[in-house]
Chains A and B, each alone.
Chain A
Amino acid sequence: MNMIQAINSAMDVMMARDPDVVVMGEDVGYFGGVFRATAGLQTKYGKTRVFDTPITEIGIIGVAIGMGAYGLRPVPEIQFADYIYPALDQLVSEAARLRYRSAADFTAPITVRSPFGGGIFGGQTHSQSPEGIFTHVSGIKTVIPSNPYDAKGLLISAIEDNDPTLFFEPKRIYNGPFDGHYDRPSKNWSNHPLGEVPEGYYKIPLGKAATVRAGEAVTILCYGTMVHVVANTIEEMQVDAEIIDLRTLVPLDIKAIEQSVKKTGRCLIVHEATRTGGFGAELSALVQERCFYHLEAPIERVTGFDTPYPHSLEWAYFPGPVRIGEALKKLLKD
């Protein structure tokens, strides 16, 4: 399966198991979503469980919270993560705090799916990575898969989870892993071990990172598309790096990070989102607080630049093998 099919399968499995799971969003019904992630679900589960919504992101999230308060488990889609901002107030002020402010009288068991990230010539309004904004908010979980197997297992966990969860889907790797070289096509998931996805129910717990590759020279913390770009870069450079795919940013698998950095003594953080105040800054602070005496070089960050995503220069913006390679050279200098 590719990642879109795996995500579709997760919703399918959960809708079959739990009649309270509903899927909603712009174009998700008859059409099955602009990326086809909800294809076939309306035919299978009917219009009251899979339905198109008016184009109002704040409405979509607010209504999902209300449905959640009734007892349903809504899985709303925001068509592109760039369009999550109109829904910010309902997510930040409402969904994130409902449990806390009502002493669990009400909760918002919603899973907001949204394709994010660049690399498809989407320009500044179809490319952003807003995860950092949400990790700053208490009460929301943030999940970002990097392959079809994880995507399905994590999405099932998110749907079962009783807290509001954001599920950001790296759209650059919907169809296959991507090595970061923009002039090469992405590969097919079917040739990748993590493209083998069971049809039925299985879960990957939220809050557990994956060690994609064990190594001794440096720890690389990354998630989503960047996992593949990083893996390719260290292979090209022949570096014995340990790659940690964070999978969930909140809650974060701090143990895995701590253990790895203490072992390697070096840490590189890679994400596509803009740098200042990004999640990499948080990771850097955590590593510094917990592993300072084990560090043999300053922590390095490779991130998007602090500019909007430029349409024609997106491959200069995208943190690719060149930029990751330069950072690694610096980190491993002595």
Chain B
Amino acid sequence: MDAPRANLPPLSLHVPEPKFRPGDEADFSDVDVPPAGSARRPDSAAPADSFHELAYTLIRVLDDSGQAVGPWNPRLDPEALRKMLRSMAMVRAFDERMFRAQRQGKTSFYMKSTGEEAVSVAATMALAADDMCFPSYRQQGILITRGYPLVTMMNQIYSNKGDPLQGRQLPIMYSAKDHGFFSISGNLATQYPQAVGWAMASAAKGDTRIAATWCGEGSTAEGDFHSAMTFATVYKAPVILNVVNNQWAISSFSGFAGAEATTFAARAVGYGIAGLRVDGNDALAVYAATQWAAERARTNQGPTLIEHFTYRAEGHSTSDDASAYRSAGEPNAWPLGDPVRRLKEHLIALGEWDEERHAAQDLELAEEVKRAQKEAEKNGVLGHGMHQPFETMFEGVFEEMPWHLKEQSEQMIAERKAAGI
């Protein structure tokens, strides 16, 4: 390398670094948390460039005393609030149980969504039942909110003979078209442009349904994210683009996706898309923002990007050891609290719920999940023989099986027979 010119100051490379690492005490006092109710609520038909500040603040509804305040309060009736709370608690109970099932060797893999339950549950409640969701792997709350059978979810996780995906997919990579749930890919952010395409098709056909998609903040770095934004703005696609900013992408903090420089909601600004940044641990804020964005999409005002500011309270997956890269105190120090607890406190403040009912519900949900697990395990668990017949491996690659796959299938069966297995 040539020597740098001596009279110029040397350049230096900036590499982001999270504020805390293992052993450090977590302190989030510098996270800007504006008071609940302080963000204005523009008309859902307002031009995208007339509320840029909403991409930089935090839309919050629930305040510290559990009251719902301000213009974004969706004023849900207690019945809806209780359903929301129940679904969120169910997601948590389900995650708990399936995480343990993986630890017991009943399946290969699991991913929890602990701390992020509001993001998927509240958003789903604000969508119509036939709107199409293009989720990533951490939105099991969509299926649970839409009443998808728990036993079927577990069959998929166990890759057993009751698995509707025939044991082909990794656990939690569900697909359920009749529940408006697009097949999950392991490849990050690929669902983003696909959601935009679905929304464009719906618009082109004069349909009334809209699309919604989710990805993590880490995944916003992928090219697919940016292609999706371009298509969405160009064609004013009726789509809601959700970024779940849970602060961590495996061991990489949000700074490696650009969080030191701006917010993720602000990605919308450059594309001329409506951008909202919401408190992702506030189920009512998530609901309100989604409802607003859905109204916008349904009235041909185009796409909305919503950043859900939240925190991944547990490890990335069952393969992950979060204590190897982040402060053990972080989950508790997180300034936006726990979404289930916050919604519970709101219902209690309304006089529509109490701790006893909550505890009873938790027990009931745990029982329900346990019963479903027993039912699912009757169909087998991973690696215990009760899987799909071997030939199914060759089905579904194409609509009709070409000669070479037929030949390979026959050869496999013959070889297994010859070997006596």
Interface residues in chain A, defined as those with a beta carbon under 8 Å from any beta carbon in chain B: 20, 26-27, 29-31, 34, 47-48, 51-59, 71, 82-83, 85-86, 121-126, 275-276, 305-308, 310-313, 316-317, 322-323, 325-326
B416 contacts partner chain A, Cβ-Cβ < 8 Å: yes
Known: A52-B15, A126-B186, A307-B393. 20 other contacts (CB 8 A): A26-B252, A27-B250, A31-B252, A48-B12, A52-B251, A55-B221, A55-B222, A58-B223, A59-B223, A82-B186, A83-B188, A123-B170, A126-B170, A305-B412, A306-B397, A307-B397, A311-B108, A311-B159, A311-B171, A326-B419
* A-B contact number at CB 8 A: 141
A311 to B388 alpha-carbon distance, docked (Å): 11
Q: In the complex, how many angstroms separate the beta carbon of A88 from the nearest chain B beta carbon?
A: 11
If A52-B256, A122-B170 touch, whether A306 touches B17 (CB-CB below 8 Å) is: no
Check if A313 sits within 8 Å of B167, measured CB to CB: yes
Check if A123 sits within 8 Å of B186, measured CB to CB: yes
**Most interface-central of A58, A85, A313, A323 (chain B CB within 10 A):** A313
Q: In the complex, how many angstroms separate the beta carbon of B48 from the nearest chain A beta carbon?
A: 25
Contact with A along B397-419 (1 / 0, CB 8 A): 10000001100100010011011
Check if A47 sits within 8 Å of B15, measured CB to CB: yes
Residues of B contacting A317 with CB < 8 Å?
393
B219 contacts partner chain A, Cβ-Cβ < 8 Å: yes
B336 contacts partner chain A, Cβ-Cβ < 8 Å: no
Q: In the complex, how many angstroms separate the beta carbon of A216 from the nearest chain B beta carbon?
A: 25
If A26-B250, A53-B256, A124-B169 touch, whether A312 touches B187 (CB-CB below 8 Å) is: no
Q: In the complex, how many angstroms separate the beta carbon of B163 from the nearest chain A beta carbon?
A: 8
Q: In the complex, how many angstroms separate the beta carbon of A312 from the nearest chain B beta carbon?
A: 3
B168 contacts partner chain A, Cβ-Cβ < 8 Å: yes
A20 to B387 alpha-carbon distance, docked (Å): 51
Check if B416 sits within 8 Å of A322, measured CB to CB: yes
Q: List 17 A-B contacts (CB under 8 A).
A: A26-B249, A27-B252, A31-B250, A31-B325, A34-B250, A47-B17, A55-B188, A55-B257, A83-B187, A121-B108, A124-B169, A124-B186, A308-B168, A312-B163, A317-B393, A323-B412, A326-B415
Check if A313 sits within 8 Å of B390, measured CB to CB: yes
The residue from B108, B224, B249, B418 contacting A326, defined by CB atoms under 8 A apart: B418
A182 to B406 alpha-carbon distance, docked (Å): 25
Check if A308 sits within 8 Å of B415, measured CB to CB: no
B353 contacts partner chain A, Cβ-Cβ < 8 Å: no
B193 contacts partner chain A, Cβ-Cβ < 8 Å: no
Check if B167 sits within 8 Å of A30, measured CB to CB: no
A54 to B1 alpha-carbon distance, docked (Å): 27
Residues of B contacting A312 with CB < 8 Å?
159-160, 163, 167-168, 382-383, 387-388
Q: In the complex, how many angstroms separate the beta carbon of A94 from the nearest chain B beta carbon?
A: 14
B28 contacts partner chain A, Cβ-Cβ < 8 Å: no
The residue from B17, B324, B387, B415 contacting A322, defined by CB atoms under 8 A apart: B415
Which residues of chain B in 1-43 are interfacial with respect to chain A, using CB atoms and an 8 Å cutoff? Answer: 1, 12-13, 15, 17, 21
A308 to B183 alpha-carbon distance, docked (Å): 15
Check if A305 sits within 8 Å of B221, measured CB to CB: no
Check if B223 sits within 8 Å of A311, measured CB to CB: no
Contact with A along B206-234 (1 / 0, CB 8 A): 00000000000011011110000000000
A313 to B258 alpha-carbon distance, docked (Å): 40
A23 to B109 alpha-carbon distance, docked (Å): 29
Residues of B contacting A57 with CB < 8 Å?
222
Check if A306 sits within 8 Å of B250, measured CB to CB: no
Check if A125 sits within 8 Å of B186, measured CB to CB: yes
Q: In the complex, how many angstroms separate the beta carbon of B325 from the nearest chain A beta carbon?
A: 5
Check if A275 sits within 8 Å of B408, measured CB to CB: yes
Contact with A along B94-123 (1 / 0, CB 8 A): 000000000000001100000000000000
Which residue of chain B has the shortest Cβ distance to A305 in the bound complex? B408
A85 to B186 alpha-carbon distance, docked (Å): 13
B148 contacts partner chain A, Cβ-Cβ < 8 Å: no
The residue from B187, B219, B252, B390 contacting A52, defined by CB atoms under 8 A apart: B252
Check if B167 sits within 8 Å of A56, measured CB to CB: no
